[in-house]
Amino acid sequence: MKVALKLTSHLISLILFTVFVLILFIVVSARASGGEPEFLGYQLKTVLSGSMEPGIQTGSVIAVEKVNDAMSFEIGDVITYMEDEQRLTTHRITDVIQNGEHTMFQTKGDNNEEVDANPVMAENVVAKYTGVTVPYIGYFLNTVNSKNGAFIFIGIGAFLLLYSIFTIWRAIAQVDLKSKREEANVS
């Protein structure tokens, strides 16, 4: 029973450490590039509204692919587009509108009653939703990306690092003490 508990404890510690390192990597790379966090070539976007629920919940992080050809989208695709200069929106295409040389998309949030008031110009589409959603972690990433959140996150990371060093040092000291006792008993 003791061995199983110890293995479970080590496994949980390993998982938490891996998640910590992964989030640290994402946050640092996003801060360094000055843009959105990326992981394995996908941009990570935080969902701040419930317009796409229940499929995409508020507070989720979604993975999106950058757009190479906005003309290839069709009805049913979920796209991320610039609604204005400061705001990105992720909604589903309900209609493709050809207006001379311009292509526009009529969009609608899955949880909204009506289609969006303004069609989206193809040039304003920045990404396509990949179908990958991680619930609730968006709340955490938003907090970490704030000044106070980054400070707290770095503080927690420093504490965990120091605690790990202390734990390793203590384990090595116990092994050394046990070796010295065994040597003393042998002599």
* Residues labelled as active-site residues: 49
First-to-final CA distance of the chain: 35
Of residues 146 and 72, which shows the higher confidence score?
Answer: 72
Q: Given this model, what pLDDT does residue 177 score?
A: 80
The C-alpha atoms of residue 178 and residue 183 are separated, in whole angstroms, by: 9
Q: pTM for this structure?
A: 0.63
Which pairs count as long-range contacts for 41-49, CB under 8 Å and 24+ apart, including other chains? Answer: 41/65, 42/130, 42/132, 43/127, 44/141, 45/80, 45/88, 45/90, 45/127, 46/138, 46/141, 46/142, 47/90, 47/138, 48/138, 48/142, 49/109
What is 37-136's CATH topology?
A: Umud Fragment, subunit A (2.10.109)
Render pLDDT for 25-59 as a digit per residue (tens, 0 to 9): 666 666 665 556 666 778 878 888 888 888 888 88
Render pLDDT for 91-144 as a digit per residue (tens, 0 to 9): 999 999 888 888 889 999 988 999 988 898 888 888 899 988 888 877 777 776
- Segment 159-186 shows an average pLDDT of 79
Alpha helices in 34-146 (DSSP H): 137-145
Q: Given this model, what pLDDT does residue 9 score?
A: 74
According to DSSP, residue 119 is labeled: P
